[in-house]
Structure formats: structure tokens, C-alpha cells
Amino acid sequence: MHFVQPEVRLIGRPSLDYEEVAAYLEEVGGKGWLERLDRTNDAQNLAEIGGRTCYRSWEPGLNPNVTRVRTDQDAYLENILASSHGSVLEHLTFNFIFSNVSRVLTHEQVRHRVGTAISQESLRFVRLDDLPFWFPEWAQQDGELMTRAVRLLLDMESFQLWMADHFGLDDENVPFKEKKHKTSFMRRFAPEGVTTTAVWSANVRTLRHVIESRTAEGAEEEIRIVFGKVGELMKEEAPALFGDYEVTEGGAWVPSWRKV
């Protein structure tokens, strides 16, 4: 076994085809909007496209009911958040790899299933010959706790290795079907705290909710750390959509605009 730290990596983000956007805007008379646009942040631009499509607010006069058009994107997206126009944010999906996170975390993570996708390392196929484990700082400072915990984990790890040898999983010509069957049985003797890797994708509407709820002071400690990292990544990635959060001394991410 070895000690690990939870890690979050942002591996994917929205990407716009500006030629196709331009072709559409040419049809509806909104090409001037695109000419003013800063093309450095596709995610924020996509949110603005979604919102302006709803009201045909590319330019004054395209919709007789719209007499004033915001030209500043930050102000436009702030109004989206303030007016709870959350459906616009569902178009923006970001992709993450969570590594060295426990199954305690992923069991809670899947409860946020609306607007998400998840692919997690399967212990039905991946054999455990090592038990990576995360300990919070307060636990590491408890000598007796750590001694007993490490001893228990080493025993469980040793049992995993014994089972693999006992079942002859590395013998020649063992069918993959049998390996899968036995490996699936072996995972039942792994602790819920053993760490894993998952690819997690979520749209911005969901991200705003999950960051708030899973960094709240009553949330589980590891989950608070992980989604605090997600919040930091998103605030840098899309400041106009996540810049309204304030982080408390306790690490909770509290938005100015809730339930978008």
C-alpha cells in the first residue's frame, strides 16, 4: 500500500466552429456580434450564443421587443446568472480526470447524475495488487490510528495477492472470463477507501450546484478537497461563469447567484 493525494485534472472543454457560427449569424443578421467577439474563451462564448438565440438579441432591431443589447460579455453572463437562465449553461460541458480518489467519493459523486457522465476504473477487470489510500492530515497525526490502519491495509493487500496466487490467475492459458470472474470476487475484500480513477464530465449548470453543495462545511472531507480543486479550475477557466463565488475561511464555495 502507499499514501496518495486526490488530484483533479481538467482534460476537455467546449470548442466552437466559428465558421458555422458566422454562417448562421449571416442568415439572421447578427454578424456584427461575432465581429466584436473575443474568441479566446469558447465556453463563455457558447453560453452567450445560447442566451442570445433565445431572445434574438444579436443586434438591436432584430427583435422589436429588444431595444438595448449588452455588448460586454461579463455583464451579459452576469445577467444570465442573476436571472437564473440556467438552461443556457447546460450546453457547456467540461471533462475531468479524478485520480487518487476513494470509492467513498465516487459513491457520492454518482448521486449528481443529472448533466453528468462518469467512467470509473473497474475492479471487475483491474486486479488489486496494491491498495493506494488517502489519509487526512488529522488522521496522519494520530500515531496509534496510523499504525493500526496501515497494518490492516497491509493484511488486506496481502490477502489480495494470496487470492491471485491461490486462483492461479497468472498461470498460462487462464481464460479472461475466469480472470474477470475471480477478480470481481476479489474486489469484495477491498476497503471502500481504496483509491481509484474516474473520468467525470459535467455541464456548467450542474458544476455550479455540485461545487456549492460538495464544498459546504457539512460535506465529507475528501469530497470538499476535490470539489474545491474543481472550483479553482473552473474559476480560472470561465471567470464570467464562476467568478461570483466567495470562498469562506472554512473552504466553502458560496455563489452570489444560487439555483441557476
**pLDDT digit string, tens, across residues 156-181:** 999 999 999 999 999 999 999 999 99
Tell me the average pLDDT across 206-213.
Answer: 97
pLDDT range class, residue 241, cuts 50, 70, 90: very high
Q: Please, what's the b/e burial string for 41-61 (b: 16 or more CB within 10 A of its CB; e: otherwise)?
A: bbbbbbbbbbbbeeeebbbee
Type and span of the H or E element at 18: helix 18-28
> Residue 196, CB half-sphere, CA atoms under 13 Å: how many?
27
259: in domain: no
Q: Could you identify the residue written with the cell 490492516?
A: 152
Quick one: 24 and 79 in the same domain?
Answer: yes
Q: What percent of the chain has pLDDT over 70?
A: 100
- pLDDT score for 260: 85
Tell me the average pLDDT across 24-52.
Answer: 95
63: in domain: yes
- pLDDT score for 214: 97
Task: Give per-residue pLDDT as tens, 67-119.
Answer: 888 999 999 999 999 999 999 999 999 999 999 999 999 999 999 989 999 99
60: in domain: yes
Distance CA 249, CA 214 (A): 16
- pLDDT score for 259: 82
- CA-nearest of 257, 169, 251 to 214 is 251
238: in domain: no
- pLDDT score for 67: 83
Task: Give per-residue pLDDT as tens, 16-31.
Answer: 999 999 999 999 999 9
Distance CA 243, CA 236 (A): 9
Q: What is the mean pLDDT of the chain?
A: 96
Distance CA 46, CA 91 (A): 7
131: in domain: yes
202: in domain: no
21: in domain: yes
> Residue 167, CB half-sphere, CA atoms under 13 Å: how many?
21
Range of the domain at 156: 124-189
Task: Give per-residue pLDDT as tens, 107-157.
Answer: 999 999 899 999 999 999 999 999 999 999 999 999 999 999 999 999 999
Tell me the average pLDDT across 60-73.
Answer: 90
> Residue 176, CB half-sphere, CA atoms under 13 Å: how many?
3
10: in domain: no
pLDDT at 66 over 90: no
Which of 70, 90, 110 delimits the end of a domain? 90
Number of folded domains in the chain?
2
> DSSP per residue over 127-148, as a string?
--SS-EE---HHHHT-HHHHHH
Which of 164, 189, 214 delimits the end of a domain? 189
Asked whether 1 and 153 are in contact (CB, 8 A), the reply is: yes
